[in-house]
Amino acid sequence: MARAAVWKTRADCDRVWEVLSDGWTFPGWVVGAARVRAVDADWPAPGTRIHHSVGLWPGLLHDSTEVVRSVPRSELVLHARAWPFGVAEILLRLTERNGGCEIEMREHAITPPWKWLPDLVQDWSVYPRNRECLRRLSLIAEHATDPAAGTAGEV
């Protein structure tokens, strides 16, 4: 499996899971996601999908991400589609750590031609994006936990 990006947040695993469970937050933390068009009612139950667009307007690609496995407060495995690039399996794992949550994210292509790339090349190409996804997820979870943690416009 791919090299994991790991991020420690002050928010607890319950709060991080709440953000992951709200499919409408997807473009707020997923780098490259432009908007959500629909979220299946039982998200994040296995088999449910987020229907999203990726890219920049007007060149948006419409596709979906499907839940493969869901263990509340602990693990979410997704199959993310982005035609013409294929499908990637994404693992998000949450672990309680010192009053906060450690979030681990692994991503690996599961369809040709990208799955034929060596793991090291895949890891190298997605690691920076995944770290940024986790940073954004952390900020959303922390802000909801402590609204005084930051305000709009602060740098």
For residue 8, report the phi and psi dihedrals to the nearest 5 degrees.
-105, 130
Residue 64 lies in a domain: yes
The one-letter amino acid code at 5 reads A
Is residue 155 in some structural domain?
A: no
* Residue 46 pLDDT: 98
Q: Cα(first)–Cα(last) distance of the chain, in Å?
A: 36
Can you tell me the distance from the alpha carbon of 121 to that of 58, in angstroms, rounded to the nearest whole number?
30
- Is residue 81 a part of any domain in this protein? yes
Which residues sit opposite 9 in a β-bridge? Answer: 101
Question: Domain for residue 91, yes or no?
Answer: yes
Q: Kindly give the parts of the chain with pLDDT less than 70.
A: 1-2, 145-155
How high is the pLDDT of residue 134? 98
What does the pLDDT look like over 74-95, one tens digit per residue?
999 999 997 777 899 999 999 9
Domain extent for 11: 5-147
**What pLDDT shows up at residue 154?**
33
Number of domains comprising the chain: 1
Dihedral sign, Cα of residue 63, residue 67, residue 136, residue 107: negative
CATH code for the domain of 115: 3.30.530.20
In DSSP terms, 61 is beta-bridged to: 54
Q: What is the pLDDT of residue 123?
A: 87
pLDDT over 70, % of the chain: 91
How far apart are alpha carbons 86 and 107 in whole angstroms? 13
DSSP 59: S
pTM: 0.88
Residue 85: its pLDDT value, please?
Answer: 76
